[in-house]
Structure 1
Amino acid sequence: MDDKKAIRAWTMYDWANSSFATTIMAAVMPIYYAGVAASGLADGRATSYWGFTQTAAAIIVAVLSPLLGAIADRSGGKKRFLGVFTLLGAAACIGMAFIGEGDWLAASALVIVGMMGFGMGGTFYDALLNDVASPAMRERVSAKGFAMGYLGGGVLLAVNLALIIGYKAFGFKDSAGASQVSFAMVGVWWALFSLPLFKHVREAKGTPAMSAAESVREGLARLGQTFRSIRRYPELFKFMVAYWFFFDGINTIIVMATSYGTDIGLEQEALIGALLLTQFVGFPATWLFGRLADRIGGKKMLYGALSVYVIIVLLGYFMTNEYHFFALALLVGLVQGGAQSTSRAIYSRLIPPGRTAEFNGFLSFTSRFFSFGGPLVFGVVGVLTGSSRAALLAIALFFLVGIALLALVKLEKGWREATE
């Protein structure tokens, strides 16, 4: 454990799959879907169908994560499952290169498959943290992974945006053709930079191979055990509940930021520029966050990151121009990766040995199940008040509740419960 080559290989997967998050989920595909794939639909349908696409993918990942996680722990198959979903996601991205005008159904199907590869792959990738890093090193290693993700996702997004904006200089007849190539580049990037993990990371051995039917039965049985045994790990459960709240707050900021910026009149170029700023600030900030968490404690750093999010929401209420938006993007870049990586590291130390994929799958399932809360509150408050500013302000509640619940978690007691 703590093999430097294995750690570097593990962090490269974050570099690899973050290209999907930036190009497909955040910047290019949403615009391509509305403007090209769904160009023949009636007004408003494109946005609705994109929302249905995201919902369908989230439900599938939430349902499959804990079951396949339990199977992977039983068989020692975390890398095998990660490989399957990596290939699935990369192939879906390459397939997106063939989406043309009016192909909204094919676009939705491929995005769902890609998000399955991204979401399910992330579950097994997170579970492998316990195989490459000792408990004392996990804050630092987890932060390195997120930092590499910010850099890798940002680099390829910058390349893709250059292709799309300067399509004539690169020999494309329009920006749509450049966008199609950018989708294929994500698939190749994802598959290529995942290879070091599969070569250098070793996972703990499981039990002898079982048939598919036996694996499913065993997975369902272990999933049932997870639900029943959670009460034996009260500190882990308290951390999970706190995580549901602040993860929902962070997720709402991510998914609603562009919509909020558009609503207050910001231009698309400013929104994409802010996203790039977040990516490149996130790289050194997350790395530094992990070093500080290793030195003064992950829980203290997590308190600080969530407090900054409260400030971000409060400042966002008063935001009026693109300079304010860039300032808030800078603040998000300083703490977003650190909050996520530190949460991953803390949770990894609260999990009982030999059940890492299972409990990571369970966290993925529950956090995704509860993640509707933030966007729902945002929407309801926006409708009741007629103001997206008031809706944003309401999201501060999720961070405040998360901080309060985090204060109840006794980490040392939780680590003892996990090992006992």
Structure 2
Amino acid sequence: MKITGVFKDPKWLAWVLQDVGNSAFATTIMAVMFPLFYREVLGAGAPKQLVLAMWGYGTAMGMLMTALLAPALGAAADQRGLRKSLFMAFTALGVISSFAMGLLPRGGWILGLAVFVAGSLGFSFNNVFYDSFLPHIASDEDRSLLSSAGYALGYLGGGVLLMLNVLMAARYGEAGFRMSFVSVALWWAAATVPFWMFIQEPPRALGDSYGLFARPLKTLRELPGDPDVMWFLFAFWLYNDGIGTIMRMGVIYGSSIGIDQRTLLMSLVATQFIGIPLTMLWAKASDFVGDKRALMGTLAVYLLICLFVPFIRTPYHFWAMALAIGSVQGGAQALSRSLFSRIVPKDRSAELFGFYDLSSKFAGVLGPLAFGVISQMTGSFALGGPLLAGFFLFGMAMLLKVRA
């Protein structure tokens, strides 16, 4: 399939557009503008070290809540035919939280952190159910390119909106930040309409019905009998810890070492746009070497980035790091999703993508938590980079055990 084929099938287009919609939350809110707004506006008058540490702890708490609930809700979605309903409900939570961020009072960092955690829950569960539709709408041979098209167009959509929001923030200051959060809510809601119209609920899973947590517990006991899924989830847990932590803590780290706001914003906008062609390039590479080998290539680049973190001193250094991240971030995410979709049974995709998200979110607990502790102990995040390098290294070692 060529990327133009995405625009010919309404189901594929509707699925890809959701990546365009929720990417606005990942870029404008999660990665770039809300961390700055939280630190400079919501945290005004509060001890900076406390505000930074609580950001790490609050993020970890949200990830832990998602991790505990994702497999159970995924299993319920498979058994009861609720995949689309739960997708829409958590999308609504993310949209409403984004809108609420524009209304937060100055100095209200505790309330702001709570709203951010709620929005992150909506975003995370949106992705659990969104990803689980992939094996139902695309054949094995189309999944790598469709998954990559989602990330590439997500980079485009998220990048365009981020660029407009950066301009609004530069022109209108605090009011521009608030308008940006409202724009994310409207953008995400609009992108969800085609999904609601064209994507149908997949068939319910056949077999015995279980309680909310009984089915995931049974699956956990059975995982050693499916070593490919088990080793992939362990590997994903480790290397995605690094990816997620870099995404969530990058702007906060840059700000803490004195990188000016303009450099932070513009370098991350550039990260979005460089990700568009390079995500598709990684998809093409997977056609020749396979999803697993291409994924290993992206993780090797991340490993080098982590080792570079303690040496960042100037805006040029931050630019180099941001562009390197942009060259592999979409590829790593798209190839992970595609590879996992190939090794899970279709009728249990929501449950197992719940474990995929569980693996991701337990990673999201450890990384930000470690950065919070490092910040309190040393007053700097710099030592977090070499720590994250170990997660990539051991994740790659476990990924070698997966038979692609």
Give the CA deviation at 1:140: 1.0
TM-score between the two structures when normalised by the length of structure 2: 0.90
Q: Does 1:80 align with 2:85?
A: yes
Question: Alpha-carbon deviations, 1:291-344, whole Å to 9, x = none?
Answer: 221343111101111111122233444443222221221121111110111011
* Matching of residue 18 in structure 1 with residue 23 in structure 2: yes
Contact 2:236-2:359 within 8 A present in 1 as well:
no
Q: Distance in 1 between matches of 2:53 and 2:96?
A: 25
Does 1:9 find its partner at 2:14?
A: yes
Note closer, same or farther for the CA distance 1:47–1:314 as it changes in structure 2 (3 Å cut): closer
Structure 1 residue 333 and structure 2 residue 326: aligned? yes
User: What is the deviation of 1:264?
Assistant: 4.1
Task: Say if 2:356 is the partner of 1:358.
Answer: no
Structure 1's unaligned 5+ residue stretches are: 168-174, 209-213, 412-420
User: Hey, what does 1:418 align to over in structure 2?
Assistant: none
Aligned counterpart, 2:238: 245
User: Which moved further from structure 2: 218-227 or 7-16?
Assistant: 218-227
Give the whole-Å Cα distance in 2 for the aligned partners of 1:303 and 1:407. 9
> How far has the Cα of 1:49 moved from its partner?
3.7
SS in 1 for 2:360: helix
Q: Deviations over 1:344-395 (max 9, x none)?
A: 1111111122111101111212331243444455667788899855542332
Compared with structure 1, are the counterparts of its residues 9 and 389 closer, same or farther at alpha carbon in structure 2 (3 Å cutoff)? same
Q: Is residue 137 of structure 2 the alignment partner of residue 93 of structure 1?
A: no
- Indicate yes or no: 2:315 matched with 1:322: yes
Shift of 1:290: 1.5
What is the CA distance between 1:82 and its match in structure 2? 0.7
Deviations 1:212-239, CA, capped at 9 Å, x for gaps: xx99x63322112211221221111111
RMSD: 2.6
Q: Distance in 1 between matches of 2:371 and 2:166?
A: 30
Quote the offset at 1:43 in angstroms.
Answer: 4.8
Q: How many residues align?
A: 398
Determine the C-alpha separation between the residues in 1 that align with 2:32 and 2:372: 22
Q: Residues 264, 30 of structure 1: CA spacing in aligned structure 2 closer, same or farther, 3 A cutoff?
A: closer
Query: 1:182 aligned to 166, 180, 183, which one?
Result: 180
Percent identity, aligned pairs only? 38
Residue from 394, 404, 418 that aligns with 2:387: 394
Query: Could you say which residue in structure 2 is the equivalent of 1:202?
Result: 200
Determine the structure 2 residue equivalent to 1:71. Answer: 76
Q: 1:122 to 1:318 in 2, by over 3 A?
A: same
Deviation at 1:255, TM superposition (A): 2.8
After alignment, is 99-108 or 64-73 more displaced? Answer: 99-108
Do 1:131 and 1:202's aligned partners in 2 also have CA atoms closer than 8 Å? Answer: no
Contact 2:52 2:372 survives alignment (8 Å): no
Quick check: 1:147 aligned with 2:152? yes
1:92 Cα shift? 1.6
What are the residue-to-residue correspondences of 1:58-137 with 2, within 5 Å?
58-137=63-142
Aligned match of 1:27 in 25, 32, 44? 32
8 Å contact from structure 1 (residues 381, 394) kept in 2: no
Alignment of 1:349-388 (within 5 A): 349-375=342-368
After superposition, residues 214-229 of structure 1 pair within 5 angstroms as 218-229=211-222
What one-letter code is carried by the residue in structure 2 that aligns with 1:360? F
1:123–1:360: 8 Å Cα contact kept in structure 2? Answer: yes
Residue pair 2:271, 2:325 contacting (<8 A) in 1 also: yes
Q: Residue 220 and residue 391 in structure 1: after superposition, are their counterparts in 2 closer, same or farther (change >3 A)? A: closer
Give yes or no for contact 1:141–1:290 (8 Å, CA) kept in 2.
no
Q: Deviations over 1:190-212 (max 9, x none)?
A: 0101111121223422279xxxx
Does structure 1 retain, via aligned residues, the 8 Å contact 2:49–2:376? no
**Structure 1's 75 and 294: CA in aligned 2 closer, same or farther, altered over 3 A?**
farther
Q: 2: distance between equivalents of 1:44 and 1:385?
A: 11
* Aligned-partner Cα distance in 2 for 1:94–1:128: 27
Amino acid at match of 1:188: L
Equivalent residue, structure 1, for 2:189: 191
Tell me the CA shift for residue 74 of structure 1.
0.7
What is the CA-CA distance between 1:181 and the residue it aligns to? 1.6
Match status 1:406 vs 2:404: no
Query: 2:261 maps to what in 1?
Result: 268
Give the SS at the match of 2:150: helix
**Rg comparison, structure with higher value:** 1
- The higher relative CO (CA closer than 8 Å, separation ≥ 6) is in 2
**How far is the alpha carbon of 1:143 from its aligned partner?**
0.8
Q: Check conservation: 1:240, 1:363, Cα contact below 8 A.
A: yes
What's the counterpart of residue 248 of structure 2? 255
Q: Structure 2 regions of 5+ residues with no counterpart?
A: none
Which stretch shifts more, 332-341 or 49-58?
49-58
Contact kept in structure 1, 2:42 and 2:108, CA below 8 Å: yes
Residue identity in the other structure for 1:155? V
Query: Residues of 2 paired with 1:97 and 1:83: CA distance?
Result: 22
How many angstroms apart in 1 are the aligned matches of 2:171 and 2:90?
33
